[in-house]
Amino acid sequence: MFEQPFMRLALVASMATGAMLSMVGTYLVIRRVVFLGLVLASAATVGAAIAQVFAWPPELASIAATVATALGLGTIRSPRRISAESVMGWAYAAATAATVLILAGTAGADLDTLGLLYGNLLTVSKSHATGLVALAVVIGAVQIPFGRRFLLVTFDPEAASVAGVNAALWSLSLNLLIGVVAAAAVHEIGALLTFSVLTLAPAASLLASRSIRSTFAVSATLGVLLPCLGIAVSFYLDLPPGPAGVALLALCVPVASVIGRWRDTAPRPD
Amino acid sequence: MMNAAFGVSSPSAEAKKAIRHPMTADPLLTGRMLSLGYHGRALIRDLSFEVRRGEILGVVGPNGSGKTTLLRTILGLLKPLEGTVERRADLTISYMPQRERIDTILPVTALEVVLMARSARAGALQRIRGEDRDACRSALARVGGQTLSDQLYRNLSGGQQQRVLLARAIAADSEMLILDEPTAGMDVASEAAMIGFLQELNQDLNLTVIIVTHLLPIVLNLASSVMLLGARRVLHGPVGEVFQETVLSELYGAPVHIGTVAGKRTLVVDRPGGRDV
């Protein structure tokens, strides 16, 4: 299966994006803002669509649009009468509509563009795969020293602020990190798989884990393993690899729920 | 000594080893001509006050009187509409929020929650050291939570979670402790123990305490001064001066009587149907 170079590149891209997305996605799920993942992935597609109109580099445009969205959602306070979730719903709908409308009015918006927007694991180039691995290393390197701070502002931002930590700034930095990762991943693995790894791997992990370390470890393992397994399944069953990975991640959540309940009720040694 | 109803034996000598803050006459915190509220609408107007070291200030008032607004302003989480809050430059504050404000989705142990106090005080790149862990275990022991250390915070009872949050607040070795409804959800024995414990902290460490609560008897028996927030005015002064039956009756819209039972002061409301207390 992996004798073909494109399959090896797909595997590398899948592992790198899976590791990054599941790691930053754990914060999204803990903060109960999974919809933010969908909004950021949609913002990436708007950036790519605008890049198509002006012939800009699509990756940079996507990252710029996602970072701008993360900054906007992080700094603009939601109106008093609707929830933050509603604001994100508005942002998602607006971004999706903008993408379709921009592309509808753009000459030459064809299947290649759709591939650019929604990704195709089997067409990842060597340079892109290398870029994803480099980004995954950077994200991991950021997580090691600053993970404790991210958890602090996630668990109790007010107490952190009182203790002198700039919770708003750390929270914004985390959103930016998630935005950059989501934008980079959307181009290679598509919005659906990006959102799924970002939210389902951490959700399954939180259901089954009983410590912070194991939450991040299990989330990363599922995020890396299941999309790769999706590639293998798609190869042998002649299915699209992205949705196959999503299906495996979706299946994983109820299984994790059962494991979590079993662990909660199982007698513990004294 | 720790009250047995708090669920613990007396803390060990090591558990009690903590920084005792020196006495000074200068105020730690000063509010000047404050107007407090949200979206330009003031809930409290022209409020001035001082909080001195070693004081236990109780903030009480009916629902909607602005207790939480005042608390958030003192904490620096909310800007006053007018006026200023001045803190002594090197003042360190610990905050114990209401238990319901803490999300329990994260699988953290009680000790990890307490460690967050040390982590917040340390630099972003600084690692948690063995002495930080020891200090946090001691803080847990002080509140009778030594057996909770390795248990998941989300699996603890409401009262146990309150204890862990209190341990986190004292683990930071701050000079001032600010508590928002610290006895919410506690049974009466645990509530009495919490009062005893706060008195002990105040006496042993000369810790300054600001406590926001609905429960007037707590303030009657614990606080040295009180800030009584009402619809039209704010009364601030020693508990004995502010807590007059006539004042409370007017504030809550029902006859309130103050009495003593078994050496503890308590309040009785004559009839239901007054304003929400």
* Mean pLDDT along residues B130-154: 91
pLDDT tens digit string along B194-225?
Answer: 888 888 889 888 899 999 998 888 898 899 99
Chain B residue closest in CA terms to A143: B125
The shortest CB-CB distance from A163 to any of B101, B120, B124 is to: B120
pTM for the model: 0.82
Q: How confident is the model at residue B133 (pLDDT cuts 50, 70, 90)?
A: very high
Burial B4-28 (b: 16+ CB within 10 A, else e): ebbbbeebeeebeebeebeeeeebb
Q: How confident is the model at residue B277 (pLDDT cuts 50, 70, 90)?
A: very low
Identify from B39, B93, B95 which residue to disrupt to test chain A contact, counting A C-beta atoms within 10 A and taking the largest count.
B95
Q: How confident is the model at residue B25 (pLDDT cuts 50, 70, 90)?
A: low
Residues A246 and B19: their CA atoms lie apart, in Å, by 54
Q: What percent of chain B has pLDDT over 90?
A: 36
Looking at per-residue confidence, does B43 or A82 come out higher? Answer: B43
Q: What is the DSSP letter of B20?
A: P
Residues B110 and B10: their CA atoms lie apart, in Å, by 20
Q: Is B78 on the interface with A (CB under 8 A)?
A: no
Residue A243 burial class via C-beta count within 10 angstroms: exposed 0-12, middle 13-18, buried 19 and up: middle
pLDDT average per 10 residues of sequence, chain A (270 residues):
83 94 93 85 86 85 88 68 82 88 74 61 88 95 91 90 90 88 85 90 94 94 95 89 92 94 70
pLDDT tens digit string along B231-258?
Answer: 667 888 898 888 888 888 887 788 888 8
Q: Which of A82-86, B10-14, B127-131, B145-149 has the highest mean pLDDT?
A: B145-149
Identify from A29, A77, A81, A148 which residue to disrupt to test chain B contact, counting B C-beta atoms within 10 A and taking the largest count.
A148
Q: Is A229 on the interface with B (CB under 8 A)?
A: no
The shortest CB-CB distance from B119 to any of A145, A152, A154 is to: A152
A159–B107 CB contact, under 8 Å: no
Residues B257 and B259: their CA atoms lie apart, in Å, by 6
> Using a CB-CB distance cutoff of 8 angstroms, which residues of chain A are in contact with residue B172?
163
Structural tokens at position A156: 């109790």
Q: Do residues B201 and B194 make contact, with C-beta atoms less than 8 angstroms apart?
A: no
Q: Do residues B201 and B18 make contact, with C-beta atoms less than 8 angstroms apart?
A: no
**Nearest partner of A228 among A19, A3, A4, A5, judged by Cα:** A19
Mean pLDDT over the full length of chain B: 83
User: How near does any CA of chain B get to the CA of A156, in Å?
Assistant: 6
Residues B85 and B66: their CA atoms lie apart, in Å, by 16
| Pairing of the two strands B208-212 and B225-229 | unpaired
Q: Do residues B175 and B208 make contact, with C-beta atoms less than 8 angstroms apart?
A: yes
> Using a CB-CB distance cutoff of 8 angstroms, which residues of chain A are in contact with residue B95?
158-159, 162-163
* Mean pLDDT along residues B179-184: 88
What's the confidence (pLDDT) of residue B254? 84
Structural tokens at position B18: 């903590």
User: How near does any CA of chain A get to the CA of B239, in Å?
Assistant: 27
Residues making up chain A, counted from first to last: 270
Whether B24 shows a pLDDT value over 80: the answer reads: no
Q: Which stretch of DSSP H or E encloses residue B108?
A: none
Q: Is A162 on the interface with B (CB under 8 A)?
A: yes
Backbone φ and ψ for B44, nearest 5 degrees, come out as -130, 135
Q: Which amino acid is at B127?
A: R
A145–B112 CB contact, under 8 Å: no
What's the confidence (pLDDT) of residue A89? 87
Residues B231 and B113: their CA atoms lie apart, in Å, by 38
B120–A152 CB contact, under 8 Å: yes
End-to-end CA distance of chain A: 48
In sequence order, what are the beta bridge partners of B29?
Answer: B51, B87
Residues A196 and A22: their CA atoms lie apart, in Å, by 9
What's the confidence (pLDDT) of residue A116? 54
Q: What is the DSSP letter of B100?
A: G
B108–A212 CB contact, under 8 Å: yes
Portion 85-124 of B in contact with A at CB < 8 A:
93-95, 97, 101-103, 105-109, 112-113, 116-117, 119-121, 124
> Using a CB-CB distance cutoff of 8 angstroms, which residues of chain B are in contact with residue A32?
103, 105
The shortest CB-CB distance from A161 to any of B77, B94, B152 is to: B77
Q: How confident is the model at residue B12 (pLDDT cuts 50, 70, 90)?
A: very low
Residues A19 and A201: their CA atoms lie apart, in Å, by 10
Identify from B73, B105, B147, B165 which residue to disrupt to test chain A contact, counting A C-beta atoms within 10 A and taking the largest count.
B105
Q: How confident is the model at residue B111 (pLDDT cuts 50, 70, 90)?
A: very high
Q: Do residues B272 and B250 make contact, with C-beta atoms less than 8 angstroms apart?
A: no
